[in-house]
Amino acid sequence: MALNLGQIGTKYQTADGEILSGGERIRLYSAHIISGAGGGAVVSFKNGGAAGTTYIQVTCANASTGETFDFGHNGYTFPNGCYIDVDANTTSVLVSFYKEIK
């Protein structure tokens, strides 16, 4: 019998949205954020969709730069899906994640 270990991957986003559709349980390990020319970017990672609870909020301090945020070996678990909320100064977000099996 095969063991289903879930889905390991990366996701590139330039706008608000879920890492995976359907409120899948996600463990977030890192995020690379690129800010635009207008200033530093602010990105929120929410549990449970756009109106969900903000678990992590990070700021990329300088304009037109990239910054990597490492959430450690264990990462952060989002039981009801991870929604990425970007501000107007965010060019892109690249996350590394693991879809946990319920």
- 40-82 confidence digits (pLDDT tens): 899 999 999 999 999 999 998 888 889 999 999 999 999 999 9
Q: Which of 38, 26, 43 is nearest to 94 (CA)?
A: 43
1 is a domain residue: no
Between strands 7-13 and 53-60, the pairing is unpaired
Average pLDDT over residues 10-38: 93
2 is a domain residue: no
70 is a domain residue: yes
79 is a domain residue: yes
CB 21 within 8 A of CB 63: no
The number of distinct structural domains making up the chain is 1
- CATH number of the domain residue 28 falls in: 2.60.120
- 8-18 confidence digits (pLDDT tens): 899 999 999 99
Would the pTM of this model clear 0.75, i.e. be above it?
yes
Q: What is the pLDDT of residue 5?
A: 57
80 is a domain residue: yes
CB 23 within 8 A of CB 86: no
Q: Which tokens belong to 5?
A: 């270990």
**What's the domain range around 74?**
7-99
